[in-house]
Amino acid sequence: MDNFQFSSIEKIILTLSTLTCLGSFSYEVWRRFKIVLKGRESLPFDQFGKRCWRVVREVLFHEKVMSGRFWPGLMHGLVFWGFLVFGLITINHFATGFGVPLLSSSFHHAYSYFGIPFAILVLIGIIALAYRRFITRPKYLGKTSPTSGLVAVFIAILMLTYIFGEWDLSPLVWKINWWLHTSVILGFLWLVPRSKHLHLVLAPVNIFFKPFILPDHTPVEIDLEASEEELDNMLASLTKMTMNQALDVFSCVECGRCTEVCPANRGGGILDPKNHFMLDLRDPLMETGDVDVLAQLNVEAGWECTTCQACTDVCPVGNNVEKSDEIRRLEVLVEGKVPQEYQKLFNNLQESGNTEGAFSSPLADSLPRYNSEMEYVLWLGCFARYGLDPDFENSVRSFTKILDAAKVSYGVLEKEHCSGDPANRLGDKLTFSMLRGHNVKELGGAKKVVTLCPHCAVNLGSEYAKYGEINYKVEHHTQVIERLLNEDKIIVEKGEKGKVTFHDPCNLSRMMDEVDAPRKAITSVTNDFMELEESGRKTLCCGAGGGLWWKKETKGRTHLVRAEQVVESGADTVVTGCNFCYGMMKQGLGALTPDDRSAINVKDVADIVAENMITS
């Protein structure tokens, strides 16, 4: 190949076209970065090592790309790893055109023993992906895009011309082949920033900056004593995206995984997070060149969201997909447009500090009152405290039975108010801040808090911490039970009858990242444990999250899809770790279980453990 010479004309053409394409590429990327940089807050560099390791896992190893969609993910992996393998070859390819090849021809030849098989793998990958996109056409991919087709053809040509170029060719044929390869690479440079293929550049960056805390709703600090100007500034900020959010929109690869896992969408709602929460923002961002675009989100879609975070957790390019918080806070705080049932709920929260507008709780009155000698504050939450499902009282008693047996001291707060979960998730940040203020004071002396409600746990923990330091540690009761089992503080036997399965609550699995503790507890009392198809962090929401428990009329079947899966699983008992899931399961299962099957038991982790505890 050393003897192939490029004429000056060729070099001029090559120089001009390379500069044009590189220039256009940089310009397009810069245009988008400029918009990102207008965003609120900053891009985080904390926990640097952890962030880098995540990039390695999710980019290099394709962890998220392959999880859930293994074969397409692997095919994508082949193409991606091909990009890395051919990086050096590509640089050398251009250098050759300028007459200064970097690699000796013997090295180039030796590399081809590795390069050619890899090129074949890339070909297999891209053909499989194109077959899926244009022949099988899974629904969640959405409309077939012509640029995807073009990219597939480009990649195929690149591989073929590479393989072809390794043959002994006549100078003319070699030259034609060389130029073909070159034009496709330049075409790529032109195309990438103008299409979803920009994820090639942005995904690694986006994954690096992705927040660690789920959900990543930014706090809304409300100071009722602030001046009018300060208030106006605060309200104006609510329509502005953060840097991270804007970066997400440009990184989205339109794979549709977020919509595929969305419980609202699967239940027949209109909500389609890929479009409503991501792509709908792309044009406004580009057209206005600014981040002040959140008011353009679809409001109806925003109210359907259960805030389950499945979309965010599944996204392969590291997007924080969910935007219901942005939509709802605008509707509540700026527009004052709130569905009537939620107005009632907010009024109850403001007037009585709980969701039900109640002034007494027989359950709370019957439990020990917390004092500073005690180890734990037992946080009940409105669901248990005011009997949103009266049977759940038994689960609380199961848990206190466990604590008593293990001689762990605990007490409830007399003036426990709602943790603020429904207000927070429904966008009423003012009511949330009132409740937070009250509870932080009540929890003043506490060191450890345990609760059966993961919604409360998330709010008392990571959500409150967004507004200021908290001095207590919040645990979910399954975590305490697991520890008591590990320390042999309670003794159980494997006495549970029938097939047992576990429904992971979103707040516990995705937001608290806890999937082992409940399993450890359940498998210590049964030999017959089975997983649901969607389990662990990939769980499907029961339909009650995001304040939807209080929604009066639901058009879709979001509240039934999960219960249906439990029925189909054939389990005799479904265990949950969340009072809302417990309530939803009980409501859904009764109606969905066929007549010829006996009723499916719904239990909390505390129930199943307490029932199989050996008390001395």
| Chain residues that interact with other proteins, rule: CB under 8 A | 222, 224, 228, 231-232, 235, 332-338, 340, 343, 346-348, 351-352, 356-360, 430
Residue 390 contact partner, candidates other proteins, ligand SF4, none, CB within 5 to 8 A by sort of partner? none
Residue 431 contact partner, candidates ligand SF4, other proteins, none, CB within 5 to 8 A by sort of partner? none
Q: Which residues of 82-117 are buried (b: 16+ CB within 10 A; e: fewer)?
A: beebbeebbebbbebbeeebebeeeebeebbeebee
Burial status of residue 529 (CB atoms within 10 A of its CB: 0-12, 13-18, 19 or more): middle
**R_g of the chain computed on alpha carbons:** 28
Distance CA 574, CA 604 (A): 8
Max Cα–Cα distance, the chain, nearest Å: 94
Distance CA 524, CA 486 (A): 10
Q: What is the dihedral of CA 56, 61, 65, 66, to 10 degrees?
A: -150
Question: Candidates 129-137, 312-320, 395-403, 576-584 — which segment interacts with ligand SF4 by CB under 6 A?
Answer: 312-320
The structure tokens listed for 224 are 């009722």
Nearest residue to 607 via CA among 518, 516, 506: 518
- The minimum distance between CB 306 and ligand SF4, in angstroms, equals 4
Nearer to ligand SF4, 248 or 389 (CB): 248
Backbone CA torsion sign across 183, 185, 187, 189 = negative
Residue 163 contact partner, candidates ligand SF4, other proteins, none, CB within 5 to 8 A by sort of partner? none
| DSSP per-residue codes, 80-99 | HHHHHHTHHHHHHHHHHHTT
The structure tokens listed for 383 are 């669901």
Side chain identity at 102, as an amino acid letter? L
- The minimum distance between CB 547 and ligand SF4, in angstroms, equals 12
547 counts as binding ligand SF4 under rule CB under 6 A:
no
Measure CA of the first residue to CA of the last residue in the chain; give whole Å: 85
Query: How many residues touch ligand SF4 (CB under 6 A)?
Result: 29
Residue 568 contact partner, candidates ligand SF4, other proteins, none, CB within 5 to 8 A by sort of partner? none
Question: Candidates 96-104, 225-233, 255-263, 517-525 — which segment interacts with ligand SF4 by CB under 6 A?
Answer: 255-263
Residue 358 contact partner, candidates other proteins, ligand SF4, none, CB within 5 to 8 A by sort of partner? other proteins
Nearer to other proteins, 332 or 563 (CB): 332
Nearer to ligand SF4, 271 or 584 (CB): 271
Nearer to other proteins, 360 or 372 (CB): 360
Question: Candidates 34-42, 273-281, 338-346, 381-389 — which segment interacts with ligand SF4 by CB under 6 A?
Answer: 273-281
Distance CA 499, CA 535 (A): 16
- The minimum distance between CB 296 and other proteins, in angstroms, equals 19
543 counts as binding ligand SF4 under rule CB under 6 A:
no
- The minimum distance between CB 269 and ligand SF4, in angstroms, equals 8
Q: What is the dihedral of CA 319, 557, 396, 371, to 10 degrees?
A: 50
User: 389-408 mask for ligand SF4 (x: CB under 6 A)?
Assistant: --------------------
Residue 363 contact partner, candidates other proteins, ligand SF4, none, CB within 5 to 8 A by sort of partner? none
Residue 308 contact partner, candidates ligand SF4, other proteins, none, CB within 5 to 8 A by sort of partner? ligand SF4
309 counts as binding ligand SF4 under rule CB under 6 A:
yes
The structure tokens listed for 558 are 């979001």
Backbone CA torsion sign across 361, 364, 365, 366 = positive
- The minimum distance between CB 607 and other proteins, in angstroms, equals 28
307 counts as binding ligand SF4 under rule CB under 6 A:
yes
100-139 residues near ligand SF4, rule: CB under 6 A: none
274 counts as binding ligand SF4 under rule CB under 6 A:
yes
378 with 562: CB under 8 angstroms?
no
Nearer to ligand SF4, 271 or 349 (CB): 271
Nearer to ligand SF4, 274 or 385 (CB): 274
The structure tokens listed for 251 are 């990184």
Question: Which residue from 75, 119, 141, 255 is in contact with ligand SF4, where contact means CB under 6 A?
Answer: 255
Distance CA 433, CA 378 (A): 22
How far CA 89 is from CA of 96, 240, 323, in Å, comes to: 10, 43, 42
353 counts as binding ligand SF4 under rule CB under 6 A:
no
588 counts as binding ligand SF4 under rule CB under 6 A:
no
Kindly list the residues in this chain that would bind ligand SF4 in the complex (CB under 6 A): 252-258, 261-264, 271, 273-274, 278, 305-311, 314-315, 317, 319, 321-322, 324
